[in-house]
Amino acid sequence: MSDDPLLEVENLTVQYKTKEGMLTAVSDASFAVSEGEYFGVVGESGCGKSTLLLSILNALDSNGQVTNGVIRYKGEEIQDLSEQELNQRIRWKEIAYIPQGSMNSLDPLERISTQAVQLAGLHSDLNEEEALTKFEEMFEIVGIDPERIHDYPHQFSGGMKQRAIIALALFLEPSLIIADEPTTALDVIMQDQIFKHIDDIVDRVGTSIMLITHDIAVVFESCDRMAVMHGGQIAEVGPVTRIDNEPHHPYSTLLQEAFPDIREPNRDLSVIEGKPPRQIGETDYCTFVDRCPWATEECREAPPPLERAEADRSDHFVSCFRKDDVREENEQGTDDRKAPNQKSGSLANDE
């Protein structure tokens, strides 16, 4: 991991034009991904995760636009590059993308190898033969028999298609892969197989990965650093160990407590009432306020700034007016929370 960030996002705001007005899907978001880093983004559906990464790729729906902020890739501002420049220099070659529901994003009428050759022609200088050799190597890495690169997508099962897409994303050796919920809708074993291959890639190829998911366990297990998003705002960003053990934002805390842990099958799960708001117009308050047990009037009056969680830590940022209170309360409550809380009338004891 070098010190210079690979990808830097500063004060990014993204809005969609809708019938009701401008919908703010991402509001004043800032974070950075370093070289070789495995970076996770978590949040419920509708938090703006997909929008965030589509804006990085400059691939927003036609009614969406970056209305503020900069996106820097290897030091260069890329938010205003033309389609042509992006295609020639950035997409696939530098930043590859695995879209949400990507199992269905392969062209059903073309052999997978043909699709790879086309990509190589569009985004690299490789000739056909070189492209195919590279592609075969990638199939090896994602655990599919390299001979099968000439298959059609329908000859693959869902999990294999997903892995073929990962191979496609990888084979031009991008420096950054952005994956949007790559395993949602797959069951646990398939999910684990796919993450095994992604782990492998991080180790062997040294690519940075930005993983978007609503599964906090996956991020805690695999990633180096993470961001927690709520209602378009970055609630907290920092190393996973910090956010796991010392969360400062109420949403990070509650999200963790809502997540079942197979090691503690009877722990009480917390519930977060409501859902992230659809924000029409500027976001000028904390979007978690209606769901937050710590909320005060202050939280409605201005958006909390993304600040250092603790003055002496330069890698952990939180946006909450009451982060110190939350932190303190978490510290005291830790014992109850982490212990396998036997539920009253819990099922295990009924026998």
Ligand X SMILES: Nc1ncnc2c1ncn2[C@@H]1O[C@H](COP(=O)(O)OP(=O)(O)O)[C@@H](O)[C@H]1O
Q: Which one among 20, 204, 262, 332 touches another protein, defined by CB under 8 A?
A: 262
CA angle 308, 314, 319 (to 5 degrees): 20
Q: Is 152 in the site for another protein (CB under 8 A)?
A: no
The window from 46-54, 253-261, 263-271, 308-316 that contacts Mg ion (CB under 5 A) reads 46-54
Helix (H, G, I), strand (E, B) or coil at 9: strand
Q: Is 25 in the site for another protein (CB under 8 A)?
A: no
Please choose which of ligand SF4, Mg ion, ligand X, none residue 33 contacts, taking the beta carbon within 5 to 8 angstroms, the exact cut-off set by kind: none
Please choose which of ligand SF4, Mg ion, ligand X, none residue 43 contacts, taking the beta carbon within 5 to 8 angstroms, the exact cut-off set by kind: ligand X
Q: Which one among 74, 214, 308, 337 touches another protein, defined by CB under 8 A?
A: 214
Subset of residues 321 to 350 that bind another protein, contact rule: CB under 8 A: 340, 342, 345, 347-350
Residues that bind ligand SF4 (CB under 6 A): 249-250, 286, 288-289, 292, 294-295, 299, 304, 320-322
Q: Residue type at 28?
A: D
Residues 6 or more apart in contact with residue 129 via CB below 8 angstroms? none
Q: Is 143 in the site for another protein (CB under 8 A)?
A: yes
Q: Based on CB atoms, which residue is closest to another protein, 131 or 272? A: 272
Sort strands 38-42 and 208-213 into parallel, antiparallel or unpaired.
parallel
Q: Based on CB atoms, which residue is closest to ligand X, 49 or 163? A: 49
- Distance in angstroms (rounded) separating the CA atoms of residues 46 and 278: 8
Q: Is 265 in the site for another protein (CB under 8 A)?
A: yes
Q: Are 38 and 226 in contact (CB under 8 A)?
A: no
Q: Based on CB atoms, which residue is closest to ligand SF4, 119 or 320? A: 320
**What is the number of helices (H) and of strands (E) in the chain?**
11, 12
Q: Based on CB atoms, which residue is closest to another protein, 96 or 255? A: 255
- Other beta carbons within 10 Å of 279: 21
Sign of the dihedral through C-alpha 209, 196, 51, 63: positive
Radius of gyration from C-alpha coordinates of the chain: 21
**Minimum distance from residue 48 beta carbon to ligand X (Å):** 4
Q: Which one among 15, 50, 162, 183 touches Mg ion, defined by CB under 5 A?
A: 50
- Distance in angstroms (rounded) separating the CA atoms of residues 306 and 308: 7
Q: Are 5 and 34 in contact (CB under 8 A)?
A: yes
Q: Based on CB atoms, which residue is closest to ligand X, 47 or 117? A: 47
**Minimum distance from residue 197 beta carbon to another protein (Å):** 9
Chain-centre distance for alpha carbon 181: 7
Edge-to-edge strands of the sheet including 208-213?
Answer: 95-98, 176-180, 208-213, 38-42, 225-230, 233-239, 317-318, 307-308
**Minimum distance from residue 196 beta carbon to Mg ion (Å):** 23
Distances from the Cα of 193 to the Cαs of 185, 208, 223, 331, in angstroms?
A: 14, 19, 16, 36
Q: Is 133 in the site for another protein (CB under 8 A)?
A: no
Please choose which of ligand SF4, ligand X, another protein, none residue 40 contacts, taking the beta carbon within 5 to 8 angstroms, the exact cut-off set by kind: none
Q: Based on CB atoms, which residue is closest to another protein, 265 or 305? A: 265
Q: Which one among 206, 260, 305, 333 touches another protein, defined by CB under 8 A?
A: 260
**Minimum distance from residue 25 beta carbon to ligand X (Å):** 4
Residues 6 or more apart in contact with residue 239 via CB below 8 angstroms? 224, 225, 226, 315, 316
Q: Which residues bind Mg ion (CB under 5 A)?
A: 50
Q: Which residues bind another protein (CB under 8 A)?
A: 44-46, 143, 157-159, 186-193, 195-196, 199, 214-218, 220-221, 240-241, 243-245, 254-256, 258-266, 269-272, 275, 340, 342, 345, 347-351
